[in-house]
Structure formats: C-alpha cells, structure tokens
Structure 1
C-alpha cells in the first residue's frame, strides 16, 4: 500500500498512513511535490506538502509551524503484490519556510513549503541568509577547503566530500557566499574550469536527509532497476540523458549508478537521435542526476505515487558516445 509519514518539530506533530505494522485505512489525504537536485541545478526548488482533512484548530495555528524541522517519508508498505517496503524511506528533510491553512466549503487543508537544511536560529523571519566563508588556498585540494566551510556553517549536519584529487586551486581563491546555493554555483563552474574534460561532470553539492554530499564522481555501487519497478516507458530527453519513473522510492539518490532492464526507450527530438540506435531494446548503466517525488495519496492511477529520475548514460547498448 502507498505509505507516507510526516514528522514536524521532532515528531511533536505526525501524519502517517502506517503505524504498528498496519496500514491506516482512514489516513488523511496527502499531496507531495518533492524535487531533489544539486544546489547548482535549476531543479533544486523547495518541496511542497499538502495535508487534507485537518481540524480547524490546526489551520488557525498553522503560522506556529513556520521554521520547524520536518521530515517526510514515503514509498510503499506491504499490502500489494509488487509493493517493496525496502524501497521506502526519507524523501526530504529540512525546515518549514511557510505554513498556511485553507478552508473551502467543507474542505480544510494545511500547506507546507519545505526548504533544505537546518532551521535558522532566533527570530527566523529577520535572520539574513547564512554567509559561507571559503578559504581555498593555492595548491590545496578542494575537498579540505569545502569540508571545512560546510562543517563550520552547518554544525548539526554530516558533511561528506569525495572530489577528484586533481581539483586543486591554481591560485588563492577566498570568497564569501550567501548560502549553499551560491557556493554550489561557484564550485561547479570552478571545477569544470580546472578539470577541463568533456567527460567531467563537475563538482556538485546536494543534500540527502541530514547529510550534505559534495562529489564529482558517481557512487561505486550499481543498483538494478527491475522491469516491474518501472511506471511507463523511459524517454530520451537530451543527448545520452533519460527520464524514467518508478513506483515511489527513497533508496536511490543523486550520484547512484543504476542499471536499466532491457527495454525500449522512447525517443525525442531533444535527444539528438543520431546518437541513439532504436532498432533494438536497450539496457545499460546510468548515473542519477536529479530526482522528483510526486504523490497524490488517494488518486487511483499508477502515475499518482511515483519518483521520476533523470540520468546520464555511461554504458548503454545502442548509443554512440
């Protein structure tokens, strides 16, 4: 069965569809729109959660939820033949930047806008964006400088850095950046300039739950996407880049390598089809570059509780590098 769990302020407020090993038949209707992408990417936007059927008292107190920590879990629990509870898990963790209630007719709902990271301290509405100070010395590998910057700025989070050993500053490169997105934009452009190779994808900063990942290489473990995981047919959306949907899952993250099952992939004009041979079913290995979770808990069609992935081909039958 479809599964969600929303924890606000350390679990003081909880909405869930599954408890004590049982699916809750009367669980509240929930809508999810959760993009996950590196900070330098335009796809990195705030997540949105809407909960229907809340009491009037919660609408009147919605403002009190602003800047509270929030975790949203999703996926599937046991109940349907193809449901895989092992794929469910944390979809997004951050803080509520806006919270407001709506009352239309007999319908009451709570809307939550989620920003990544830890909640700002003090009077959140008056706190300016966090400044990040980078002290990247000439000849220093970026790993040490970036890790020091992020650990200082976000002491409550885990920072994992895995960057190319050749990513070394050609000169002293100090800087002050207004937030992690500004730092990510700089690091991505600087890394592409220093390691100027067509096959180098650039250094990226992304958040996974309470962890900040900084990397310019794929994860070493390769995960298999099964044929019955797919919802619909994958599509080439850009040169050597595909989009595919699975039943909602949290076990695949940005930078993971995945192997697709042998299947036809729909072609498009933007994919520059001269690079792709569609005469046979294709399979191969891809690197996940962005993720988007979509959910409408009580809508019946298969496309209403899915995760969409964008991925770049590394080794695919029928393609020309």
Structure 2
C-alpha cells in the first residue's frame, strides 16, 4: 500500500516483477478493457539465448560454480547464494545452457540426487539461490495484512491471501499472527463473548514455508482485494 494509506507499510513495498515482455494483447469484454502481458523473467529466452557456461570442478563447492556461471551473464544483478557447502562432486561437471530456466532445471535435478534440492528464484534485480539448509528469518504477517482467512488446500499446505507484498519470495518463511493487534479505534468484545471473540484470532498459527506464490492486481480498483499476494505455504518441516 502506498504512503498515506492507514495501513501502509514501507517495508512491504518494492518491485515484484521484472523481465522481458515477449507477448501482449488487449481485450474488451462488456465495460471492461484489459491489456495482458506475458513476461519472461529475463532478457534471455528461447529466441534470444545467453551463454550460461557451468564449469563445476570436482571437490569444489557448488556455490562457487553457480556464482561464476550466473554472474558471468547477469553482471549487474545481485546474486544471493545460500546453499550447503557439502554440495561437491567427485568429478568435473561442464554444461552449456541458453536460459536461466534451463540452468535452474539442471541445478534442481542434480542437487536433488545429492539430497539437497537447490532452487533458483529471480525477483526484480536479484537472483536468489537456496536449498533446504537455508533458514531465513521469518517475515511477520500482521492480522491487518490478511484478506479473509487462510485455508487448507492439501495435506500440510495452506493458502493465504494478503495485501500486495514485495518482501516475500518463494523459499521465505512467514509467521502467522497470533491475534488482532491493539490499534487506535479498535472495539473488541469480551473474551467470554462466544463466538464473536474468536474473530480476533487467526485459525492458522506459527511458522510456514512459502512453496509458491503469485501477485494479482486490478488497475484502478479501489478494492483492497484487487491488489493482493496469494501464497501456498507448507507447515514448517514438511516442505519439499
């Protein structure tokens, strides 16, 4: 939310997407006019490949090879690598890839075989590389950030909808709120007033791992739910 709004939080603001628009089209349905963009998260794609050269020397950390491979193409991007130092091979591994997606698929495949799946997640002008050993500080979710109540969508996986968030990516941990915070103007019921007193508590508590997410935005919509982040989160310790 922008500055000036009652619940605006500057720490949640930022760029949520960036890349190359490789297709767009407009549409007109009734009174609704839309313009749709298909964005590839890189200027390099199947028709304009780059030269990702992986040169993983035996008995050296995988992080060194990835930093050299990706840094050689994305010279202006910030690369955050948080993976286990035990990821080493007893032989040299060399590969050539045209896109970051191709490289990410190979990295996930070979690291999964080594029992430490490594994920590559680009966002804005940063490339985040992490595995299951990475334990970042959880991002707090305030009760006022929630749009509706979270819900279970599969065993140990919940879906939560919040105001638009730029400070959360796939691989982040979030802390669900324990109760409604005390804010000026809040009128609450007594704790023994059932069931209305239950409205001040979230049905989901504790720490969750973000396994996938998406952002939605409806241009010029005055409704807060028209600008939101939807996350699928696993219970801590059950993430893939």
- How does the TM-score come out when normalised to structure 1? 0.59
The answer to whether the aligner puts 1:291 opposite 2:213 as a matched pair is: yes
**Matches of 1:228 and 1:108, distance apart in 2:** 31
| Pairing partner for 1:134 from 54, 65, 89 | 54
- C-alpha displacement of 1:102: 5.7
Q: Which residue in 2 is equivalent to 1:209?
A: 124
Q: Which structure has the highest strand share of the two?
A: 1
Query: Is contact 1:261–1:283 with CA below 8 Å preserved after alignment?
Result: yes
Q: Which residue in 1 is equivalent to 2:194?
A: none
Q: Which residue in 2 is equivalent to 1:192?
A: 112
- C-alpha displacement of 1:99: 4.0
Indicate the SS of the match to 1:191.
helix
The answer to whether the aligner puts 1:259 opposite 2:175 as a matched pair is: yes
| Pairing partner for 1:88 from 10, 13, 22 | 13
Indicate the SS of the match to 2:150.
strand
Q: Summarize deviations over 1:36-83 as a string: whole Å, max 9, x none.
A: xxxxxxxxxxxxxxxxxxxxxxxxxxxxxxxxxxxxxxxx11454334
**Unaligned 5+ residue runs, structure 1?**
1-75, 264-279
Q: Summarize deviations over 1:11-38 as a string: whole Å, max 9, x none.
A: xxxxxxxxxxxxxxxxxxxxxxxxxxxx
Indicate the SS of the match to 1:93.
coil
Q: Which residue in 2 is equivalent to 1:308?
A: 230
Q: Which residue in 1 is equivalent to 2:22?
A: 97
Q: Which residue in 1 is equivalent to 2:188?
A: none
Q: Which residue in 2 is equivalent to 1:155?
A: 75
Query: Is contact 1:139–1:171 with CA below 8 Å preserved after alignment?
Result: yes
Q: Which residue in 1 is equivalent to 2:161?
A: 245
Q: How many residue pairs align between the two structures?
A: 215
Query: Is contact 1:100–1:111 with CA below 8 Å preserved after alignment?
Result: yes
**Matches of 1:261 and 1:106, distance apart in 2:** 39
Counting only pairs closer than 5 Å after superposition, residues 208-227 of structure 1 correspond to structure 2 as 208-216=123-131, 217-227=133-143
- How does the TM-score come out when normalised to structure 2? 0.77
